[in-house]
């Protein structure tokens, strides 16, 4: 398959295939982007582009960006559809609130009593889910032969329950009525597969393969899985409510990355690493914390457990200083540089130093 904005797509696919086989060709996977040589780069298309229903402008914005961007190494151009971080809860009927002057949205909690919550996928005309499928179909049609459509940042499992109930109320419910929470969670868990498969079809991923907001690519089913709510839980509650849900999602997918967000989530790391089907970890230290290359002991611990790493915040100086502290197998670097020359030089540096 060829892509207008990624002429070497087939070459990149070979690197991704080697990655999933725990091999390297001549360097780790490097997703490097820069302005394309000889043109003025257009602004990146905005987060949640198309969420307002203006699909035409969203596609034009992405075309302008992708046509002026160099996607070097294993970087693959893809339109990233999103209605915001709580969109899975919106698919169940939660109302999304779009803050004026902000570039995000959030769900308005609607569950007052778990016994009365239906928690069914709303596929009616005009629903958030039907609108998302429309956006993805539009992007897949417009992008044919040019770019891919990304899998959503879903925030399913307990993140969904937190969005529709409110985090504080959900914490209290775990103490007051844990069985009701578990029953609700089981309903939400049962929706992950059908939601994913409908999105997969709408984005034409059966033909193109799949990619996500962590820019990993595979020819089958890929997604980034997460549970940000886990930072509020102790090990006992996490093992009952979160870990089985994550394991179920990971088992359904062909490949996945786990988004590990914040220091408070580290107490669950061993349980997360024990999920065999998780391929890699994206460690996000959180606001005010040192960048990931200053967590070298943690990164080595993750590698020792047999997981890959998504390294998204290393600049060129950090790469040249710290790269050899880690094994190259399983590493995925994501970096933006100022010019195509700089991007190509970085790729050659990796070849010479691997």
Query: What's the length of the chain?
Result: 354
- 2 within some domain: no
Q: What percent of the chain has pLDDT over 90?
A: 96
Dihedral angle sign, alpha carbons of residues 18, 209, 103, 343: positive
57-91 residue pLDDT tens? 999 999 999 999 999 999 999 999 999 999 999 99
- 141 within some domain: yes
- 4 within some domain: no
> How many structural domains are present in the chain?
1
User: Does 167 have pLDDT greater than 90?
Assistant: yes
Residues pairing with 211 in the sheet: 217
User: Does 99 have pLDDT greater than 80?
Assistant: no
317-342 residue pLDDT tens? 999 999 999 999 999 999 999 999 99
Residue 192: domain span: 9-352
User: Does 287 have pLDDT greater than 70?
Assistant: yes
pLDDT at residue 101, as a whole number: 65
pLDDT at residue 103, as a whole number: 82
User: Does 267 have pLDDT greater than 90?
Assistant: yes
1-36 residue pLDDT tens? 889 999 999 999 999 999 999 999 999 999 999 999
- 22 within some domain: yes
User: Does 202 have pLDDT greater than 90?
Assistant: yes
What's the mean per-residue pLDDT of the chain?
A: 97
Q: What is the average per-residue pLDDT within 186-214?
A: 98
Number of C-beta neighbours around residue 310 at 10 A:
26
pTM: 0.96
122-136 residue pLDDT tens? 999 999 999 999 999
- 93 within some domain: yes
The pairs formed by 166-171 with CB atoms below 8 angstroms and a separation of 24 or more are 166/109, 167/229, 167/232, 169/109, 170/229, 171/232
Give whole-number Cα distances, 138 to 117, 239, 248, 277, in Å. 33, 40, 30, 32
pLDDT at residue 100, as a whole number: 74
- 267 within some domain: yes
User: Does 102 have pLDDT greater than 80?
Assistant: no
* CATH number of the domain to which 78 belongs: 3.20.20.210
- 84 within some domain: yes
- The residue assigned the tokens 């102790």 is 234
- 3 within some domain: no
Q: What is the average per-residue pLDDT within 262-270?
A: 96
């Amino acid at each position: 398959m060829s892509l207008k904005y990624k002429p070497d797509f087939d070459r990149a696919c070979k690197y991704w295939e080697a990655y999933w086989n725990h091999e390297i060709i001549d360097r780790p996977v490097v997703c490097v982007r820069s302005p394309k040589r000889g043109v003025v780069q257009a602004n990146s298309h905005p987060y949640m582009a198309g969420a307002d229903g203006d699909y035409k402008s969203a596609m034009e914005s992405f075309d302008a960006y992708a046509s002026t961007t160099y996607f070097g190494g294993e970087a693959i151009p893809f339109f990233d559809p999103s209605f915001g971080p709580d969109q899975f809860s919106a698919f169940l009927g939660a109302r999304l609130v779009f803050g004026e002057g902000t570039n995000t949205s959030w769900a308005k909690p609607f569950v007052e009593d778990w016994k009365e919550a239906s928690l069914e996928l709303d596929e009616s005309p005009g629903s958030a889910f039907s609108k998302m499928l429309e956006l993805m179909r539009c992007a897949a049609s417009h992008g044919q032969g040019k770019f891919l459509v990304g899998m959503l940042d879903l925030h399913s499992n307990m993140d969904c329950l937190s969005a529709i109930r409110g985090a504080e109320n959900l914490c209290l419910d775990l103490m007051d009525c844990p069985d009701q929470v578990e029953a609700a969670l089981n309903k939400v868990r049962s929706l992950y597969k059908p939601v994913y498969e409908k999105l997969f079809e709408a984005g034409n991923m059966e033909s193109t393969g799949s990619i996500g907001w962590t820019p990993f690519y595979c020819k089958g089913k890929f997604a980034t899985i997460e549970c940000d709510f886990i930072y509020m839980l102790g090990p006992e509650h996490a093992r009952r409510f979160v870990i089985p849900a994550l394991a179920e999602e990971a088992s359904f997918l062909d490949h996945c990355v786990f988004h590990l967000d914040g220091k408070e989530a580290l107490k669950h790391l061993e349980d997360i690493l024990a999920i065999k089907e998780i391929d890699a970890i994206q460690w996000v230290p959180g606001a005010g914390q040192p960048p990931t290359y200053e967590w070298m002991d943690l990164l080595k611990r993750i590698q020792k457990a047999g997981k890959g790493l998504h390294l998204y915040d290393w600049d060129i100086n950090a790469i040249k200083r710290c790269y050899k502290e880690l094994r190259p197998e399983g590493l995925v670097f994501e970096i933006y540089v100022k010019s195509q020359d700089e991007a190509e030089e970085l790729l050659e540096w990796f070849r010479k130093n691997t």
